[in-house]
A and B are shown apart, each in its own frame.
Chain A
Amino acid sequence: MTHENGIDLALMDEVFQKYSQQKGALIPILQNAQDIYGFLPQEALQLIADKMGVSIGKVYGVATFYAQFYLEKRGRHILKLCDGTACHVKGTPLLVTALGDGYHIQPGETTEDGDLTIEIVYCLGSCALAPVTILDDQVMGRMRPEMMVRKVQKHIKDAQKAAGA
């Protein structure tokens, strides 16, 4: 059962099976849905509401409340920049400026080619490594602007090569 915009809702069956017995499982279900689709498509939210017997309003409320749920499609690579107090003092604004210069995007935006999304997050709990960035799942601490831009370029290039090969 593939929805017209390419969302395969059948992928959710396993998730519902896993959490059918658990009280208050809405958040883990949303997390699993996001792992599957990369974001939370409208169709999936409706399905979750129906299956859990709650209103779409409640599901939408929870999905929009938490910072780590996304209702829109994001870039192929995600760069998170920590701007908690310690990282801010150690220079995260310089990193944001460098990305603005290099990729012409601001936090929350995705490059036109869909390669990179950058996000500001508040405190990753690694303040001793300030300023901290996370590129996909790779943590990069004590980051400097030039070094970060180089690493991002290399990461995107490597991924393109791997996909091409």
Chain B
Amino acid sequence: MGNELLEKYVLFRHRDVEDIHKIDGYTANDGYTALKKALETMKPEDVTNVVKNAGLRGRGGAGFPAGVKWSFIPKDIFPKYIVVNADESEPGTFKDREIMTYNPHQLIEGIIMCAYAVGAETAYIYGRGEFRTLFLGRLQEAVDEAYAKGFLGKNILGSDFSMDLYLHLGAGAYICGEETALLNSLEGLMGQPRSRPPFPAVEGLYAKPTVINNVETLTNVPPIVANGADWYHQFGTERSPGTKIFSLSGRVNKPGNYELPLGTPIRYLIEECGGGVIDGKAVKGILPAGASSAIVGPEALDVTMDYEAMAAAGTMLGSASFIIMDETVDAVWAAEKNVKFFKHESCGKCSPCREGSFWLTSVYRKLREGRGSKKDVEMLETIINQMEGNCFCLLGEFTVPGVRTSLALFRDEYEALARNGDEMAQPDHNLVLAEQMLNSQSKV
């Protein structure tokens, strides 16, 4: 049961309990008892307070305290909405898929309690288009079962509280994981981000107060309400309590999802859980939050995986999708790959992101084809400096740290490529123009 660091799983209960994806299996193992407790013995604000005291932080990436977010919802504006962000699109992240496939009722129970806490009567789960099979199949079955047993719909468990839950599929856009772009997509518009303020808690879906939480965040709610805030604090660190699912991928022997207490060292994840690096090679770089991460080198192996320690190490925990690069991986190649991803996914709304990711891709291609020079390496820095802090939403901002840290950690590889180009000395007309443009802009 559980693993070495956890006696029992909190989120991945399906790994301990058989048939928990079925409603009978779930109710036979304390399923929906937390909801019963909440509806019968707790006021809505009590639920919010327990979650607040537990210190549950948003698992989608930003780590914002969930209970605090719920308390921002105004009491006197109706209707209110709950939107569950299941647009799990960060390269390297695959934790929500496992929850929704194997332990869907714990998520549904969490959604109902969140709705009860803030007084919402409608909830949507927004899933990425790739989750089609899951959303039309297993997850829909779980929702139907919950309706049939009276956990969803009118007068839940005989109380005054009623709510409906709908599943909604996106159509393939990374940007829709950004919460305001997600709201636009849910309304049937192009998935482009909105300006904030107003924040979704005040004006979200259809300009009504909206709570947007990640799948994993809400899956934490039933055990917190059932066992109390103190129980939750036994896991993790003081400021990052609880357990977290770490998605491990890249050059390791046993990639997969691992649920561990927050504050576990990175080394434990790679060596004990992941069985070490393939062929016993050395770790070269770690991307702790998928393509959006600042890369850290092997010296970070003993950093603990919690929000504070990761930030102190110059990166972030984000959605905790650890992609491991070993010494065989070409750093420039990997960075180009990430930049191409952001270029492809940039929604086109703001120019720093749209143009910046375009020019980064061009410069990387030039370098990798051996046509680049030292000036091109500097050009990469110029471009990210102009992007940083100037993008409309985080998609553009997240393009920057990967490039910046790749340049800092693996400068020799960039310069080795640039030397080839210096010998060939072929100026690229477009890049010369771009450089002139950027120079004239920075003077203004």
- Residues of A that sit less than 8 Å from B by CB: 23-28, 30-31, 61-62, 65-69, 83-86, 88-90, 121-128, 130, 137
Q: Most B CB atoms within 10 A — which of A62, A84, A122, A125?
A: A125
> Which of A24, A83, A85, A127 interacts with B188 by CB under 8 Å?
A24
C-alpha gap A83/B174 in the complex (Å) = 14
Contacts of B345 in A (CB 8 A): 122
**Pair B255/A85 contact, Cβ less than 8 Å:** no
Minimum CB–CB distance from B277 to chain A (whole Å) comes to 12
Answer whether residue B90 sits at the interface, using C-beta atoms and an 8 A cutoff: yes
**Pair A127/B91 contact, Cβ less than 8 Å:** yes
**Pair A68/B129 contact, Cβ less than 8 Å:** yes
**Pair A89/B251 contact, Cβ less than 8 Å:** yes
C-alpha gap A53/B203 in the complex (Å) = 25
Nearest A residue (CB) for B290 = A85
**Pair A31/B92 contact, Cβ less than 8 Å:** no
**Pair A85/B174 contact, Cβ less than 8 Å:** no
Contacts of B370 in A (CB 8 A): none
Q: Most B CB atoms within 10 A — which of A30, A61, A65, A66?
A: A65
Contacts of A127 in B (CB 8 A): 91-94, 247, 249-250, 255, 321, 323
Minimum CB–CB distance from A142 to chain B (whole Å) comes to 10
Contacts of A128 in B (CB 8 A): 94, 247-249, 255-257
Contacts of A23 in B (CB 8 A): 187-188, 206
Spot the interface stretch: B36-44, B307-315, B333-341: B333-341
How would residues 186 to 221 of chain B score, 1 for a CB under 8 Å from any chain A CB and 0 otherwise?
Answer: 111111000000000000001000000000000000
Contacts of B291 in A (CB 8 A): 84-85
Pairs across A and B, CB under 8 Å, 30 listed: A23-B206, A24-B186, A24-B188, A27-B170, A27-B171, A27-B185, A28-B168, A31-B129, A31-B171, A66-B172, A69-B172, A84-B291, A84-B341, A85-B291, A85-B337, A86-B92, A86-B249, A89-B250, A89-B325, A121-B172, A122-B91, A122-B174, A123-B89, A124-B130, A125-B89, A125-B93, A125-B97, A127-B250, A127-B323, A128-B247
C-alpha gap A24/B185 in the complex (Å) = 9
**Pair B323/A89 contact, Cβ less than 8 Å:** yes
**Pair B249/A130 contact, Cβ less than 8 Å:** yes
How would residues 303 to 335 of chain B score, 1 for a CB under 8 Å from any chain A CB and 0 otherwise?
Answer: 000000000000000000101010001000010
Contacts of A68 in B (CB 8 A): 129, 171-172
Answer whether residue B344 sits at the interface, using C-beta atoms and an 8 A cutoff: yes
B interface: dominant SS: mixed
C-alpha gap A21/B214 in the complex (Å) = 28
Nearest A residue (CB) for B291 = A85
**Pair B190/A61 contact, Cβ less than 8 Å:** yes
Contact (A125, B88) CB under 8 Å given A24-B187, A85-B287, A85-B338: yes
Minimum CB–CB distance from B131 to chain A (whole Å) comes to 8
C-alpha gap A83/B287 in the complex (Å) = 16
**Pair A84/B171 contact, Cβ less than 8 Å:** no
Answer whether residue B10 sits at the interface, using C-beta atoms and an 8 A cutoff: no
Minimum CB–CB distance from A34 to chain B (whole Å) comes to 9
C-alpha gap A130/B321 in the complex (Å) = 14
> Which of B92, B188, B249, B251 interacts with A27 by CB under 8 Å?
B188
Answer whether residue B384 sits at the interface, using C-beta atoms and an 8 A cutoff: no
Contacts of A84 in B (CB 8 A): 91-92, 291, 341
Contacts of B440 in A (CB 8 A): none
Contact (A123, B133) CB under 8 Å given A66-B191, A85-B291: no
The 5 closest A-B CB pairs, nearest first, are A67-B172, A26-B188, A68-B172, A66-B171, A127-B249
Contacts of B174 in A (CB 8 A): 122-123
Nearest B residue (CB) for A130 = B249
Contacts of B168 in A (CB 8 A): 27-28
Minimum CB–CB distance from B180 to chain A (whole Å) comes to 15
Contacts of A85 in B (CB 8 A): 91-92, 250, 287, 290-291, 323, 334, 337-338, 341
How would residues 59 to 101 of chain B score, 1 for a CB under 8 Å from any chain A CB and 0 otherwise?
Answer: 0000000000000000000000000000011111110010000
C-alpha gap A62/B133 in the complex (Å) = 22
**Pair A125/B170 contact, Cβ less than 8 Å:** no
Contacts of B14 in A (CB 8 A): none
Contacts of B337 in A (CB 8 A): 83, 85, 88-89
Contacts of A26 in B (CB 8 A): 188-189
Interface of chain B residues 372 through 407 with chain A (CB within 8 A): none
How would residues 148 to 176 of chain B score, 1 for a CB under 8 Å from any chain A CB and 0 otherwise?
Answer: 00000000000000000000111111100
Contacts of A24 in B (CB 8 A): 186-189, 206
Answer whether residue B21 sits at the interface, using C-beta atoms and an 8 A cutoff: no
Contacts of B129 in A (CB 8 A): 31, 66-68
Minimum CB–CB distance from B146 to chain A (whole Å) comes to 21
C-alpha gap A124/B247 in the complex (Å) = 14
Contacts of B186 in A (CB 8 A): 24
**Pair B250/A67 contact, Cβ less than 8 Å:** no
Minimum CB–CB distance from A91 to chain B (whole Å) comes to 11
**Pair B92/A25 contact, Cβ less than 8 Å:** no
Minimum CB–CB distance from B334 to chain A (whole Å) comes to 7
Nearest A residue (CB) for B189 = A62
**Pair A137/B133 contact, Cβ less than 8 Å:** yes
Contact (A122, B341) CB under 8 Å given A31-B171, A68-B171: yes
Interface of chain B residues 214 through 233 with chain A (CB within 8 A): none
Interface contacts beyond A24-B187, A85-B338, A122-B89: sample of 15 additional A-B pairs, CB < 8 Å, sorted by A: A23-B206, A24-B189, A31-B129, A31-B171, A69-B171, A84-B291, A85-B287, A85-B323, A121-B130, A122-B91, A122-B345, A126-B97, A127-B91, A127-B93, A128-B256
